[in-house]
């Protein structure tokens, strides 16, 4: 018998479970807010074949999300990624990340604009 079996979870009210579900569906933090640990997770997930070769370099230089999306091929060279194929692969993954971030940002802006227009229209009716 485990500790879990001895202490079964208490049932939560419906409102608490819906709040938890809402919290789980929220968008993850933006790349600009990533810590060094977040970048390490991204590097392992998206550049797994090269993770063991370059994770120390990223750690030593304390590469954050903000730094990651500003990197270019020269930056990667200075990090010690001298093999052209490795550098190209990691550069492409960074470019994809940058593109996804830009798309999310633009969608947020469109939503805000649509909400502002809708709110203005409602306010003008009264």
pLDDT beyond 70 at 5:
no
73 neighbors 91 (Cβ within 8 angstroms) = yes
Q: pLDDT tens across 61-110, in order?
A: 999 999 999 999 999 999 999 999 999 999 999 999 999 999 998 998 99
Q: How far apart are CA 86 and CA 101, in angstroms?
A: 23
Least confident of 3-12, 41-50, 78-87, 116-125: 3-12
pTM for the complete prediction? Answer: 0.70
Q: pLDDT tens across 32-62, in order?
A: 999 999 999 999 999 999 999 999 999 999 9
65 neighbors 39 (Cβ within 8 angstroms) = yes
Q: How confident is the model at residue 12 (pLDDT cuts 50, 70, 90)?
A: low
Q: What is the pLDDT, as a whole number, of residue 93?
A: 97
């Amino acid at each position: 018998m485990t500790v879990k079996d001895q202490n079964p979870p208490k049932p939560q009210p419906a409102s608490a479970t819906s709040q938890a579900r809402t919290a789980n569906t929220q968008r993850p933090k933006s790349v600009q807010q990533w810590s060094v640990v977040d970048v390490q997770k991204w590097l392992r997930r998206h550049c797994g074949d090269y993770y063991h070769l370059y994770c120390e370099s990223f750690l030593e230089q304390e590469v954050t999300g903000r730094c990651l999306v500003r990197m270019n091929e020269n930056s990667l060279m200075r990090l010690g990624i001298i093999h052209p194929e490795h550098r190209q692969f990691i550069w492409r993954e960074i470019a994809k990340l940058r593109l996804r971030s830009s798309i999310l940002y633009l969608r947020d802006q469109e939503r805000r604009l649509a909400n502002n227009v809708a709110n203005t229209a409602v306010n003008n009716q009264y």
